[in-house]
Structure 1
Amino acid sequence: MKDLGLLLLRVSSAVLMITHGLPKFQKLIGGNFEFGDPIGIGAAPSLFLAVLGEFVFPILVIIGFKTRWATVPTIITMLVATFIVHGSDPFNVKEKAILFLITFTSILLLGPGKYSLDKK
């Protein structure tokens, strides 16, 4: 049952993350680079990194390919969202980013389980 639980955790959290990354991905491929610049590298690079962390790497987490490595960009994205973008916001505003941070950190620590490409 542990591996089934890891599959559920991995797939559900990554699918939910993709719902946040898809609009950013569409914005990126549409050529609209208007985006926040929370770490001072420019709007376009910030958007690109957000797309990687919220759209591209969660796809790898879903299929369980290089799962532990694939969680790292999402974890970094959620650290930025929690402590920089929403740093001065009330808890209820940053709560979603914190939950994603905890979930993807758990996946990093636990691994993908046997129902993944990593285990095939």
Structure 2
Amino acid sequence: MRTSRSQPPRIDAGLFFLRLTGCLLLLYVHGLPKVFHFSEELTRIEDPFGLGPYMSLLPAIFAEVVCPVFILAGVFARLACLPIIGVLLVAMLVVHPGWSLAEGQFGWLLLIIFTTLAITGPGRWRLGSARHNEVRYGAS
């Protein structure tokens, strides 16, 4: 039975695809290299606020490794998008303000993906959603 709050399955499929592809791209291109090459990254990371490389790298790792795992699972997805959005905005507006749109297109596309997910939420295809729907609609 469809309620006024339900949406077509293709919307949930689209949100899942957006979560999956956005998170895997962020993890593969940015997050995991920072973890696997931590010492090397400490020598290369920009320090836009003068906090030191360690205090610049840790928030980036949190946003690019921990948060995507939550988003992939659909758990606290909207909240987990916020650190990613913050790191991307710092990268695009503070660290690389002179980049052309072509040079920064990957960052801007990631920003679009995670801002969209922050607005929409993860959809129904997420961990714990079946149990949540049982409680909400009284199914047994």
TM-score w.r.t. the length of structure 1 is 0.91
Are the counterparts in 1 of residues 22 and 113 from structure 2 also a CA contact under 8 Å? yes
The 8 Å contact of residues 86 and 93 in structure 1, kept in 2 or not, is answered as no
Unaligned stretches of 5+ residues in structure 2: 1-9, 131-140
Structure 2 residue aligned with 1:18: 27
Q: Match of 1:111?
A: 121
Q: CA deviation at 1:96?
A: 1.0
Query: Alpha carbon RMSD of aligned pairs, Å?
Result: 1.6
Q: Is the 8 A contact 2:31 2:64 kept in 1?
A: yes
| In 2, Cα distance between equivalents of 1:61 and 1:92 | 27
Would the alpha carbon gap of residues 91 and 55 (structure 1) be closer, same or farther in structure 2, given more than 3 Å must change? same
Q: Gapped runs of 5+ residues in structure 1?
A: none
Give the CA deviation at 1:31.
Answer: 7.9
The alignment's TM-score, normalised by the length of structure 2, stands at 0.79
Counterpart of 1:100 in structure 2 is 110
**Correspondence for 1:46:** 56
SS in 2 for 1:117: coil
Rounded to whole Å, the distance in 2 between the matches of 1:15 and 1:50 is 16
8 Å contact from structure 1 (residues 113, 119) kept in 2: no
| Larger relative contact order (Cα-Cα within 8 Å, sequence gap ≥ 6) | 1
Runs of 4+ in structure 1 deviating by more than 4 angstroms, as ranges, are none
1:92 is aligned with what amino acid? A
Alignment partner of 2:42: what SS? coil
Is the CA contact (8 Å cut-off) linking 2:34 and 2:41 kept in structure 1?
no
Aligned length: 119
CA drift at 1:82: 0.8
Deviations 1:33-75 (A, max 9, x none): 2222022221111111111111111111111111001111100
1:18 and 1:55 in contact (8 A); partners too? yes
Which entry has the higher C-alpha Rg, 1 or 2? 2
